[in-house]
Amino acid sequence: MAKRPIYYDTETTGLNPQKDRIIEIAAFDPVKNRTFDELVNPNMSIPKESSNICNITDDMVKDASTFDIIGKNFIEFCGENTILIAHNNDSFDKLFLQFEFERSNLKMPAWPFIDSLKWARKYRPDLPKHALQYLREMYNIEANEAHRALNDVIILQNVFEKMIDDLDIETVLKLLYQQKNDFIEYMPFGKHQGKKLEEVPKSYIRWLQENQALEKPQNANLKKSFEKLNLLSKL
């Protein structure tokens, strides 16, 4: 049986999955035409700058369930034989899910994941930017309330289906991750996200080294790509 896609998005208290928390998780199953949208009580105060971005406040989540409950609901919604898709998934949403499941003592299912940002960078190198809202404009998709999770999910589904055209979702998964040591051409995160590695300032690469960011398992390919370009030896 072919796997079905589940598009999802998270809103969080910040950018660090080790210390920040998910405050909203939303998903859309286009095959079953179902949506999932739940606020999550993070058991911490939401910083003002985060509320300004996602429009979620402490009052909105104070009576919401914590992730140990929401996580179980999300597992039930996604079910089995599914592939989860998010924009900047590998560097953000998936990491937050992993930490939340671990903190809640829940076993995270072995879902395959697709990072639509990684797909855009790999197969649309002709575009100057690959942010979700830029892609929405480029594909002439109508705007909605950006940065609330479910709204971003609906935009993502429309954008991604445009990008992959008539490819089935399992072929997309194979094309994107068929090489475990893929060369990374563009900076995948941080203030220089989207820049070609050759254009990333030496001072920033040095900062990544000094803070051991390149030693994290999820950044192994980034380190190899810097090394292949001989950028680490020039510091």
The Cα 207–Cα 214 span in angstroms is 10
Which residues have a Cβ under 8 Å from the Cβ of 85 and sit 6 or more positions away?
5, 6, 7, 8, 113, 114, 115, 116, 156, 160
User: What are the structure tokens assigned to 205, written together?
Assistant: 């690469």
Tokens at 228, concatenated: 């292949």
The values of phi and psi at residue 156, to 5°, are -60, -45
Report the distance separating Cα 66 and Cα 94, nearest Å: 18
Nearest of 161, 164, 158, 126 to residue 144 by alpha carbon:
158
Per-state percent for the chain, helix, strand, coil, to nearest 5: 45, 15, 40
CB 24 within 8 A of CB 74: no
Task: Choose, from 87, 130, 147, 192, the residue flagged as catalytic.
Answer: 147
To which H or E segment does residue 9 belong? Answer: strand 4-12
User: Is residue 130 annotated as part of the catalytic site, yes or no?
Assistant: no
Residues forming the active site: 147
